[in-house]
Structure 1
Amino acid sequence: MPLGSLRPSPLVEQATAHLREQIADGHWPVGTRLPGETALAASLGVGRSTVREAVRALAGAGLLRTRQGAGVFVIATQPVEDWSAKLSRAAVTDVHEVRAMLEVQAARLAAERRTDADVAAMRAALAARQAAAAVDSGAFVDADIALHATIVAAAHNPVLADLFTEFTPALREGLIPLVERLGLRDLDHSPGDASQAAMVTAVAAADPDGAGRAVREELDRTSAMLRASAPLPHR
């Protein structure tokens, strides 16, 4: 099947889109070796450097892989979806379950590794959370997440911190409606103060078991509320 020549600009984007379409349509099935740069360039009506950039873009999208000395092979027909995009579509209950597993371990590590500066940051974030409860649900949830972020940061593991950051937008999107729908700030001006304070106290006291338990109990309560308020699945 001839690929056909492309319009002159923008060549790299057009070449990338054309090759992606050919891969998605099964012109080159998974496991197939792509024609060489010269052949692809001739088929597309572009230079070899343009083909090289298009192949690099498709490799970054998870469709192609270069094997040294063997060539370029198709390894998937659809791009690898961005992690943030997956999280944005996931049910908040599922996101929260994974968040809980991450934070329990982070709290245990924080209790073992926290510095005086970390403890000061946690206590300041706790006070900010209490103050934000008087503002609105958005400010309260943001302050709550910021408090948990200080505990994760005190674990001094950049991978844990990055993972928590990835979860933040999906958590915020699910937690603000929960606070408003259940009227949590009406029932308790600053809900969860005692359990949040217990987390900070356990980390500051270098008590890994207590810190992990406090975080687990706090997040389990939130998970239960999320599940109870989630709409029933369609039958």
Structure 2
Amino acid sequence: MKAIDWELAAVGGYYTAINFSKLFKNPQPPRFKKEGWFGKDTKHMGVDKLAHAYSTYIVSELLYHRLKNKTNDAPGIEWTAAALASGIMMWSEAFDSIEPDSGWSWEDVAMNTAGAGFSVLRNAVPGLDEKIDYRMMVKPNEDIYTISGQKHFEQQRYFFAIKPAGFKGMEDSPLRFTELHVGYHAKDFLYEDRDAGIEPKRHIFVGVGLNFNELLFKRSKSKTMRTVGEVTTYFQPPYSALHVNVTE
């Protein structure tokens, strides 16, 4: 932890800052709230649960890579990063527990743990990070991206990207520039949609996309360009993949 004290303070400070205002918006005594998972009767149709897993995964990955750099890849750092990320997200969840219309959600905590766990798996199993990513893609709307409320969840697609480039025998083939995607998104769950009698829809999708890191950045001599390439292993640029719903 001492090796990444500044990074840890920055991430912890960020989540404190974005939640701090909840202390002044009619805070209630801490309590629990059962939010459900992916049911049509849930507020965000489960997209928020995948967002929790993704956020914890990103924080865990960030801390892992900083630890890897600062400790010369010491053994066990993937567990340290995941534990710290989970702790930060539990701190954030504590703020939800005092909101008038929210509460401590064990479903959120479970998905946070799943995101941290995937980070551990991806960094502990040799070569797995070259084979699979957990990503988010945002579909732009009239605001480009709606910062808060339900709309930004409707814009988000979460998926696993399986990368041929990481498999033996395909690392030098043209297939290394492509990926297979399997994921989930939902729509028509906004309050105005429900009030209008529109049925919420959940979609599991499959598709193909471009491996931008392999295509543009991985072999670059520029450290900046390689860093940009790393970003594309966590975030899929919009309109850069073809997805087809397999459930309606």
Same fold flag (TM > 0.5): no
TM-score in terms of structure 2 length: 0.25
Relative to its length, the structure with more helix (as a share) is 1
Larger RCO: Structure 1 or Structure 2 (Cα < 8 Å, ≥ 6 residues apart)?
A: 1
Relative to its length, the structure with more strand (as a share) is 2
TM-score in terms of structure 1 length: 0.26
